[in-house]
């Protein structure tokens, strides 16, 4: 029997770091963002579909993410259209992974887990969280976006409090050591539940 654990959390909450800790502990991890990258690469399943919808978003037989972002910013209906193309492909990729992964516990790293309804496929959900101040500090430290860009992304995501409330487990990612300890606590609880079942 395999256990499917959804991992979610808003931007800057420490999700990627936590996902790596689950992997280090022997879980098989599927990453939604990596799946999208594969779909957008040369030969990726999303390329011809996006090219048909937005020809200027594809160059050198792959999706140009910068061009795609520009289209999303300037065309109100673009995001919905792109999601209609990409979400089913991502779901298929996730199902393939679930079928072929051999670990006892599978972790699905999905930023928009609740927003896309993917929690229904999971046996449990863990949400990573920190204070709004630390969240903002981390994102701005990366130097990849302005405060306005960060706030725009954060405001599009489901509020953190709601994600926390809807999750079975919550991991606070203030220090690496403490985060790792919480990851092991979650895994021990899941393993205990699995052996009791």
Q: What is the pLDDT of residues 103-151, one digit of tens each?
A: 999 999 999 899 889 999 999 999 999 999 999 999 999 988 899 888 8
Domains of the chain and CATH, by start: 1-27+105-197 (3.40.50.300), 35-102 (no CATH)
Residue 158: Cβ within 10 Å count: 14
Count Cα atoms within 13 angstroms, Cβ side, for 184.
Answer: 7
d(CA 97, CA 106): 9
Is 80 exceeded by the pLDDT of residue 35?
Answer: yes
Q: Supply the pLDDT for residue 149.
A: 87
149 and 11 in contact (C-beta within 8 Å)?
no
Q: Exposure of 74 by Cβ count < 10 A (0-12 exposed, 13-18 middle, 19+ buried)?
A: exposed
User: CA 54 from chain center: how many Å?
Assistant: 25
Count Cα atoms within 13 angstroms, Cβ side, for 43.
Answer: 1
Q: Supply the pLDDT for residue 145.
A: 87
Q: Supply the pLDDT for residue 197.
A: 72
**pLDDT-above-70 percentage for the chain:** 100
pTM: 0.90
């Amino acid at each position: 029997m395999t256990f499917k654990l959804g991992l979610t959390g808003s931007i800057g909450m420490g999700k990627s770091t936590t996902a790596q800790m689950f992997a280090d502990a022997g879980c098989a991890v599927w990453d939604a963002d990596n799946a999208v990258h594969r779909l957008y690469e040369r030969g990726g399943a999303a390329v011809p579909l996006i090219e048909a919808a937005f020809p200027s978003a594809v160059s050198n037989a792959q999706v140009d993410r910068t061009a795609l972002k520009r289209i999303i910013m300037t065309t109100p209906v673009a995001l919905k259209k792109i999601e209609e193309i990409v979400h089913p492909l991502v779901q298929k990729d996730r199902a393939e992974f679930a079928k072929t992964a051999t670990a006892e516990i599978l972790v699905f790293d999905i930023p928009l887990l609740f927003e896309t309804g993917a929690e229904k496929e999971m046996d449990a959900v863990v949400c990573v969280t920190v204070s709004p101040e630390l969240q903002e500090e981390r994102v701005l430290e990366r130097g990849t976006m302005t405060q306005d860009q960060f706030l725009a992304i954060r405001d599009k995501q489901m509020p953190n409090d709601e994600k926390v409330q809807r999750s079975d487990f919550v991991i606070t990612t203030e220090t690496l050591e403490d985060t790792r300890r919480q990851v092991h606590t979650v895994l021990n609880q899941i393993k205990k539940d699995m052996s009791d079942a």
